Amino acid sequence: MKYITSVNRLLLLICLLLPSVGLVSCSDDNEGFVPDGPISLSVTRDGADVDALEFGTYGGNVLLTLESNAYWEISVPKDASWLVLSNRSGDPTITEDAEDEDEPRYIKLSAEPLGDGSTRTCTVSFRAGDVVKNVTVTQKQPELADESGWESAFVANRNMGVGVNLWNTLDAVGDWFDPDDIVACETCWGQPLAKQEWFDAVAASGFKAVRVPVTWWLHMDENDMVKEPWMNRVEEVANYALNAGLYCIINVHHDTGDGGWLCADKANIERIAARFTKLWTQIANRFNKYDHKIIFEGYNEMLDEKNSWVEPEASGYEAVNILAQTFVNAVRATGGNNLHRNLIVNTYGGGGSATRLDNLVIPEDKIKGHLMVQVHNYTPSNFSNLDGSLSDLDDEEMPLWTKEFEKQLGEELELLIKFSNTYGVPVVIGECGAYDRIAEEERAKYAEFISTYAHGRANISVFFWGQLIDRNTCEELYPLFIDGFLKGLNN
């Protein structure tokens, strides 16, 4: 009996020790596995090793890739409840079993909005066995101004909030008028001459900014110098906006687009960039004395040499990125106020799809926090009539604003929210629209949806393309529609 009891005790002792033995010798399928040999642990983002992450004031998500041949776990300080992880622990992602396919584990880190709070930081620790990888996570309250006191792009875009376009006035092109005749050029597309009273009415209605589209090539001489009367008129119109207390975005408009000289043509990029630099050097020098309420937009809807609206030639995205950098370099090189001026670059064709956003490289800048990215959005196309589907319908057949329309537009706005928060850059929806024959109360629903959707979630401003305030009488054409847009102020 004593012999049997001793054996039982020995078996019991072995059973008690088995769990700890398993930590170093059990199969990959058992929780807590640590290999006999060296432990590997990597944490990457987009293929690059990561030691630090930064979120903006609106928070957002970051996806990390974790790979390890050991059981792993993640720890976050108790006082960092603002940071949420999709996973906290897991089995090895790398195995020696030929039947098992090695698959990395994706860890999503989500930061909650910072609100009015101060910048906060914490350390996230990734551990596998005795190997530890620390990642510092910081959520910054963006700078309101740079060292010179110049307003940041974040603040400017928030202050603009909701604006309108001057529409087809200084951007007109054609061969049936004399481009040196300023009046003919400005009115040839059916708009009256721009005047101070209209800008005053825009401000009185509650809008904070006007985007002024300008076409330049018709008004440049054989040496690519902008003719003085045209430059004077552009400056005069910009001053109308400033006199009304509005922000004013000045751009290069129909120099891009179908057949435009300013195109995403990689084969001829040096010639195009040289001309582009010369143009922006002239514009920047003329407006160098103006303060932060003048904002430059480098180009409008730039296309490749084949005028591809869907997807560009293989080098089209690269060409746009080169010209975006060219624009920033040209403006900054003029010095003075332009060292700090807020600048806008657009995606290829002004598109806001995932492909267009993913292929845009935000330019390098000499000064931090003074760049914005612009897209145009006419979704749903059968509400804005971008697809022409409404033109032949009777008024009683015009669409209502529906949940399906909200879903379509919401999906695209989500892309902009993610982009803005991922890269810490404000986004400008420089053009959007709703068909003017649709009932005003339905258009008002659209206006409220697009202007408020990102409220508290991202730094996004919205500019309407079309007439909301009569260019002749300066009276509000659609009060309900305007009120819908203005609900998006102070985003």
On the 0-12 / 13-18 / 19+ scale of CB atoms within 10 A, 201 is: buried
User: Is the distance from CB of 53 to CB of 138 less than 8 angstroms?
Assistant: yes
What is each CA distance from 32 to 129, 138, 348, in whole angstroms?
9, 30, 49
Closest by CA position to 211, among listed 241, 256, 184: 241
Joined together, the tokens standing for residue 205 give 């209605």
Q: What distance in Å separates the CA atoms of residue 313 and residue 436, rounded to the nearest whole number?
A: 35
Q: Which two tokens stand for residue 129?
A: 């066995």
Active site residue 431: yes
Q: Residue 489: how many CB atoms within 10 A of its CB?
A: 18
Residue 90 backbone phi and psi in degrees, to 5: 180, 170
Residue (of 411, 387, 251) closest to 331 by Cα position: 251
CB of 114 closer than 8 Å to CB of 60: no
DSSP assigned state of 477: S
Please report which residue ranges of 65-181 form alpha helices under DSSP H.
Answer: 153-160
Beta bridge partners of residue 75, listed in sequence order: 125
Radius of gyration of the CA atoms of the chain, in A? 29
Catalytic residue, from 67, 151, 301, 412: name it.
Answer: 301
Q: Say if residue 130 is exposed, middle or buried (CB neighbours under 10 Å; 0-12, 13-18, 19+).
A: exposed
Does 67 qualify as catalytic in the annotation? no
Peptide bond just before 380 cis, omega within 30 deg: yes
DSSP H helix total and E strand total for the chain: 12, 18
On the 0-12 / 13-18 / 19+ scale of CB atoms within 10 A, 12 is: exposed
- The 3-state DSSP class for residue 211 equals strand
Distance (Å, whole) CA 448 – CA 363: 32
Of 186, 297, 305, 431, the active-site residue reads: 431
- Provide the Cα torsion 480, 482, 484, 489; round to 10°: -150
What Cα–Cα distance (Å) separates residue 395 from each residue in 363, 391, 435, 480, 481?
46, 10, 11, 18, 17
Cβ atoms 327, 284 nearer than 8 A: no
For residue 165, report the phi and psi dihedrals to the nearest 5 degrees.
-95, 145
Q: Give the DSSP letter of residue 336.
A: G
Write phi, then psi, for 162 (nearest 5 degrees): -135, 130
Write out the catalytic residue numbers. 301, 431
